[in-house]
Amino acid sequence: MTLVLKDPELLEFRSLIDGEWVGAGVDAVHNPATGALLGHVAHLGAAEATRAVEAAARAFKPWAKKLAKERGAILRRWFDLIIANREDLALILTSEQGKPLAEARGEIDYAASYVEYYAEEAKRIYGETVPSHRPDARIIVARQPAGVVAAITPWNFPAGMITRKIAPALAAGCTAVVKPAPETPLTALALAVLAQRAGIPDGVFNVLTGDAPAIGQVFTGHPAVRVVGFTGSTEVGKLLMRQAAGGVKKVALELGGNAPFIVFDDADIDAAVEGAMISKFRNMGQTCVCANRIYVQDGVYDAFVARLAERVAALVVGEGTAPGVTQGPLITADALAKVERLVADATAKGATAVTGGRHHALGRTFYEPTVLAGVTAAMTVAREEIFGPVAPVFRFHSEDEVVEAANNTEYGLAAYFYARDIGRIFRVAEALEYGMVGINSGLLSSELAPFGGVKESGNSREGGPHGIAEFVETKYMLLGGLDR
Ligand SMILES: NC(=O)c1ccc[n+]([C@@H]2O[C@H](COP(=O)([O-])OP(=O)(O)OC[C@H]3O[C@@H](n4cnc5c(N)ncnc54)[C@H](O)[C@@H]3O)[C@@H](O)[C@H]2O)c1
Ligand SMILES: O=C[C@H](O)CS(=O)(=O)O
């Protein structure tokens, strides 16, 4: 099946190494909604990954030597081209990932916003002077680009997870090699086509598809790589961190989540339902910051469940390009099997499916948007990242009880709660052990803010001024001899 694009050149199947498009089509890419074959991408390995890293290393000094405003201007051109090609990029994204076209357009805008932001931030990577301890000397602190960045990204946001790393890296003066997820390589390759058109020099931004473990070994082991940036599962993040330890590389990790979504008695219930819908069902529940455990206080439990179930039952499931569709398929059969396992475990232990709870009549990897009531901590769904359109609703009695339950996980990415009492808002927000807390909001993400987690959800921040820190090194210079 050939995608019909306004600009057919954006449908690229080769990898980009040192400004050249290389590699024959081997690995199939399918549309998860229809099963249609979109094409075959290159299956590259250690040799090509080494070539890409060494090309990035050669390109580093000239790129770092450019004025910050020159790098910023080139990134701005990349932003302009992404926006100008938004429709084609969204169609490519929906075709390989499955999300509804409206969400894909939103992701392209979101991805572009990081390029726009860091095109400007490039000019604001400031150093400092420090009052000296010696009359003959001055203390100067500079922030310099770290070097080659090797990035590995997931399939759930195939555009945003790349630009959220690459934009700050290039803005800081670093060069980059990227391995996208095998499920969604075409969006990454289309972004690389536009990066070339924007004037990002050969070797500065390289994208290669293929043998993940072999490429990952090079990314974490090659001496020229100074930063490993990874967005994906906690399991793989831990593996890459171990592999990178040998060369003492910086490892910037954005990993899994298990977000609590808490609704207190004093919450605006309609607002809480709206927030739960956005937080839980965006991208068919396949986001790292999805509400994974919904806790509702006694006094509003029944009303909340009823209103949430009513909204969930109205979701429209189908192929992402079809008009009115608000829920696409899950990414793979394994993803569907995990969701079915978690729902079966919960219902076997006493939970009830108020709506949904079954493989969708459309077949393939479509699943019915689901609300589970009567969920308890004994159910696996309380501990595992669901990554599907299933909203498990737990009942709780007191503030202390729910904060303890919310924190009872090895994850710490995002948390959400709805309340109106200002004392409660401060107590709960400060007690939740998470990198990000949404208060009376089910949507957090912005290019302006530091996105990231604590505990086993990761150690980095992407977005805002904080997002540069991963890609610069701090250098202390003492300037002496000033008294003669
Ligand atoms: N914290 C965040 O910002 C964030 C954002 C998106 C997704 N995620 C997390 O990502 C997970 C879903 O994404 P996924 O299924 O693509 O995760 P994944 O960890 O299976 O794969 C992520 C990337 O790692 C690669 N990979 C897998 N094994 C590898 C190996 N041995 N060596 C090198 N690379 C390897 C994959 O090819 C892919 O490109 C979820 O846990 C989700 O929470 C986190
Ligand atoms: O899945 C993880 C993404 O970071 C979600 S978001 O679009 O950044 O909120």
Tell me which amino acid residue 83 is.
Answer: I
Kindly state if the Cβ of 453 falls inside 6 Å of ligand 2: no
What pLDDT, on the 0 to 100 scale, is given for residue 419? 98
Ligand positioned closest to the Cα atom of 257: 1
Q: What is the whole-number distance in angstroms between the Cα of residue 256 and the centre of ligand 2?
A: 11
Q: What is the whole-number distance in angstroms between the Cα of residue 41 and the centre of ligand 2?
A: 25
Kindly state if the Cβ of 287 falls inside 6 Å of ligand 2: yes
Report helix, strand or coil for 431. helix
Please check whether residues 236 and 266 belong to one and the same domain. Answer: no
pLDDT in tens, 168-195: 999 999 999 999 999 999 999 999 999 9
Please check whether residues 271 and 352 belong to one and the same domain. Answer: yes
What pLDDT, on the 0 to 100 scale, is given for residue 24? 85
| DSSP classification of residue 200 | P
Kindly state if the Cβ of 155 falls inside 6 Å of ligand 2: no
In a domain, residue 211? The reply is: yes
CA distance 209 to 215: 9
pLDDT category of residue 237 using cuts at 50, 70 and 90: very high
Interface ipTM above 0.90: yes
Kindly state if the Cβ of 325 falls inside 6 Å of ligand 2: no
Q: What is the whole-number distance in angstroms between the Cα of residue 289 and the centre of ligand 2?
A: 6
Please check whether residues 105 and 132 belong to one and the same domain. Answer: yes
CA distance 229 to 164: 10
In a domain, residue 453? The reply is: no
CA distance 50 to 148: 12
Please give the positions annotated as active site: 254
In a domain, residue 445? The reply is: no
In a domain, residue 146? The reply is: yes
Ligand positioned closest to the Cα atom of 285: 2
Q: Which of 153, 236, 258 to mutate to test the pocket of ligand 1 (most atoms within 8 A of CB)?
A: 236
List 371's β-bridge partners, or say none: 355, 391
Please check whether residues 335 and 430 belong to one and the same domain. Answer: yes
Please check whether residues 221 and 316 belong to one and the same domain. Answer: no
Domain CATH code at residue 149: 3.40.605.10
In a domain, residue 2? The reply is: no
In a domain, residue 452? The reply is: no
CA distance 140 to 277: 50
- Residue among 254, 298, 224, 249 nearest 445 (CA): 254
Please check whether residues 234 and 265 belong to one and the same domain. Answer: no
pLDDT category of residue 389 using cuts at 50, 70 and 90: very high
As for how many domains the chain has, the answer is: 2
Please check whether residues 134 and 55 belong to one and the same domain. Answer: yes
Please check whether residues 282 and 197 belong to one and the same domain. Answer: no
Report helix, strand or coil for 285. helix
Residue span of the structural domain in which 212 resides: 8-255+458-476
Please check whether residues 418 and 397 belong to one and the same domain. Answer: yes
CA-proximal residue: ligand 2, atom 7 (nearest): 445
- Residue among 432, 437, 443 nearest 399 (CA): 432
Atom of ligand 1 nearest to the CA of 215: 33
Q: What is the whole-number distance in angstroms between the Cα of residue 132 and the centre of ligand 1?
A: 46
Give the H or E element holding residue 6.
none
CA-proximal residue: ligand 2, atom 5 (nearest): 287
Beta-strand pair 128-130/138-145: antiparallel
Q: What is the whole-number distance in angstroms between the Cα of residue 133 and the centre of ligand 2?
A: 46
Report the pLDDT averaged over residues 75-94.
Answer: 98
In sequence order, the 6+-apart residues with CB closer than 8 A to the CB of 4 are none
The separation between CA 94 and the C-alpha centre of its own chain, rounded to angstroms, equals 16
Domain CATH code at residue 355: 3.40.309.10
In a domain, residue 449? The reply is: no
Please check whether residues 79 and 154 belong to one and the same domain. Answer: yes
Q: What is the whole-number distance in angstroms between the Cα of residue 88 and the centre of ligand 1?
A: 25
Kindly state if the Cβ of 436 falls inside 6 Å of ligand 2: no
Please check whether residues 321 and 410 belong to one and the same domain. Answer: yes
Tell me which amino acid residue 478 is.
Answer: L
pLDDT reading at 2 higher than 90: no
pLDDT reading at 283 higher than 80: yes
Kindly state if the Cβ of 166 falls inside 6 Å of ligand 2: no
Reduce the secondary structure of the chain to three states and give it as a string: CCCCCCCHHHCCCCEEECCEEECCEEEEEECCCCCCEEEEEECECHHHHHHHHHHHHHHHHHHHHCCHHHHHHHHHHHHHHHHHCHHHHHHHHHHHHCCCHHHHHHHHHHHHHHHHHHHHHHHHCCCEEECCCCCCCEEEEEEEECCEEEEECCCCCCCHHHHHHHHHHHHHCCEEEEECCCCCHHHHHHHHHHHHHHCCCCCCEEECCECHHHHHHHHHHCCCEEEEEEECCHHHHHHHHHHHHCCCCEEEEECCCCEEEEECCCCCHHHHHHHHHHHHHHHHHCCCCCEEEEEEEHHHHHHHHHHHHHHHHCCCECCCCCCCCCECCCCCHHHHHHHHHHHHHHHHCCCEEEECCCECCCCCCCECCEEEEEECCCCHHHCCCCCCCEEEEEEECCHHHHHHHHHCCCCCCEEEEECCCHHHHHHHHHHCCCCEEEECCCCCCCCCCCECCCHHHECCCECCHHHHHHHEEEEEEEECCCCC
Given a contact cutoff of 8 angstroms between Cβ atoms, the answer to whether 92 and 425 are in contact is no
Ligand positioned closest to the Cα atom of 239: 1
Ligand positioned closest to the Cα atom of 386: 1
Q: Which of 279, 282, 451 to mutate to test the pocket of ligand 2 (most atoms within 8 A of CB)?
A: 451
pLDDT category of residue 1 using cuts at 50, 70 and 90: low
Maximum C-alpha span of the chain: 84
Please check whether residues 250 and 304 belong to one and the same domain. Answer: no
In a domain, residue 451? The reply is: no
CA-proximal residue: ligand 2, atom 8 (nearest): 445
pLDDT in tens, 192-215: 999 999 999 999 999 999 999 999
pLDDT reading at 378 higher than 90: yes
